[in-house]
Chain A
Amino acid sequence: MRLEIKDLHVHYGKIEAIKGISVTVNEGEIVTLIGANGAGKTTMLKTISGLRPVSSGQIIFNGEDISKMPAHKRADLGLAQAPEGRGIFVGMSVLENLEMGKYNRKDRKSEMSEDLERVFHLFPRLKERISQVGGTLSGGEQQMLAIGRALMARPKVLLLDEPSMGLAPLMIANIFNIITEINKTGTTILLVEQNAQQALQRAHRAYVLEVGHVVKEAKASDLLNDPAVRAAYLGTGAH
Chain B
Amino acid sequence: MADKKNRYNIRDHAATYWENSPKWRRVSMSIAFIAFFYALPFLNNPLVNTPGSDFQSVLFYPVGMYVLMAIGLNIVVGKSGLLDLGYVAFFAIGAYTMAILGTHTALNFWEILPIGIALSMVAGVLLGTPTLRLRGDYLAIVTLGFGEIVRIVAVNIEAIGGPRGIAGIPTPPDLFKAKFTILDPKPYYWVLLTFTLLVIWMVRRMAARRPGRAWDAIRQDDDVAQLMGVNTLKYKVWAFVLGAAVAGAGGVLYASQILSIVPDQFNLNVSILILACVVFGGIGNLWGVILGAALLAFTPERIRFLSQPRILVFGIALVVMMNLRPDGILPKKKREHFDPNWKSVEESGEGEIK
**Could you tell me which A residues sit within 8 Å of B by CB distance?**
46, 49-51, 70-72, 75-76, 80-81, 83, 87, 89-96, 99-101, 103-105, 108-109, 112, 130-133, 136, 149-150, 153
CA distance A92 to B210 in the complex (A): 14
Contacts of B230 in A (CB 8 A): 72, 100, 103-104
Q: Which of A70, A95, A153 contacts B338 (CB 8 A)?
A: A95
Pairwise interchain contact B216-A91, C-beta atoms closer than 8 A: yes
CA distance A123 to B281 in the complex (A): 40
What is the total number of residues of chain B having a CB less than 8 Å from a CB of chain A? 27
Q: Which of B210, B213, B227, B345 contacts A80 (CB 8 A)?
A: B227
10 contacts across the A-B interface (CB closer than 8 A): A92-B216, A92-B220, A95-B344, A96-B344, A100-B225, A100-B228, A105-B229, A108-B346, A131-B340, A133-B338
Q: A87-B221, A92-B216, A100-B217 are in contact. Are A133 and B229 (CB under 8 A)?
A: no
CA distance A76 to B335 in the complex (A): 30
* Chain B residue with the shortest CB-CB distance to A146: B224
* Chain A residue with the shortest CB-CB distance to B220: A89
Contacts of A130 in B (CB 8 A): 338
Pairwise interchain contact B338-A109, C-beta atoms closer than 8 A: no
Tell me, rounded to whole Å, the shortest Cβ–Cβ distance linking B227 to chain A: 5
Tell me, rounded to whole Å, the shortest Cβ–Cβ distance linking B349 to chain A: 10
Contacts of B137 in A (CB 8 A): none
Q: A108-B346, A112-B346 are in contact. Are A93 and B227 (CB under 8 A)?
A: no
Contacts of A100 in B (CB 8 A): 213, 217, 225, 228, 230
B231 within 8 Å of A by Cβ? yes
Q: Which of A46, A49, A93, A112 contacts B335 (CB 8 A)?
A: A93
Pairwise interchain contact B229-A103, C-beta atoms closer than 8 A: yes
B104 within 8 Å of A by Cβ? no
B336 within 8 Å of A by Cβ? yes
Pairwise interchain contact B229-A131, C-beta atoms closer than 8 A: no
Pairwise interchain contact B227-A83, C-beta atoms closer than 8 A: yes
Tell me, rounded to whole Å, the shortest Cβ–Cβ distance linking A59 to chain B: 15
CA distance A56 to B207 in the complex (A): 40
Pairwise interchain contact B231-A70, C-beta atoms closer than 8 A: yes
Pairwise interchain contact A87-B227, C-beta atoms closer than 8 A: yes
Q: Which of B226, B337, B345 contacts A72 (CB 8 A)?
A: B226
B232 within 8 Å of A by Cβ? yes
Pairwise interchain contact B335-A133, C-beta atoms closer than 8 A: yes
* Chain A residue with the shortest CB-CB distance to B338: A131
Pairwise interchain contact B228-A101, C-beta atoms closer than 8 A: yes
Contacts of A81 in B (CB 8 A): 227
8 Å CB interface, B219-250 against A: 220-221, 223-233
Tell me, rounded to whole Å, the shortest Cβ–Cβ distance linking A156 to chain B: 14
Q: Which one of B226, B233, B337 has the highest number of Cβ atoms from chain A below 10 Å of its Cβ?
A: B226
Pairwise interchain contact B227-A76, C-beta atoms closer than 8 A: no
* Chain A residue with the shortest CB-CB distance to B210: A103
Tell me, rounded to whole Å, the shortest Cβ–Cβ distance linking B113 to chain A: 35
A-B contacts besides A96-B345, A100-B230, A108-B346, 18 pairs, CB < 8 Å: A70-B233, A71-B227, A72-B229, A75-B226, A75-B227, A75-B228, A83-B224, A83-B227, A89-B216, A91-B220, A92-B216, A92-B217, A99-B344, A100-B225, A101-B228, A103-B214, A103-B229, A136-B336
Smallest CB-CB A-B distances: 3 pairs: A131-B338, A104-B229, A75-B229
Contacts of A83 in B (CB 8 A): 223-224, 227
CA distance A29 to B217 in the complex (A): 31
Contacts of B228 in A (CB 8 A): 72, 75, 100-101, 103-104, 149, 153
Pairwise interchain contact B220-A90, C-beta atoms closer than 8 A: yes
CA distance A131 to B335 in the complex (A): 10
CA distance A138 to B337 in the complex (A): 15
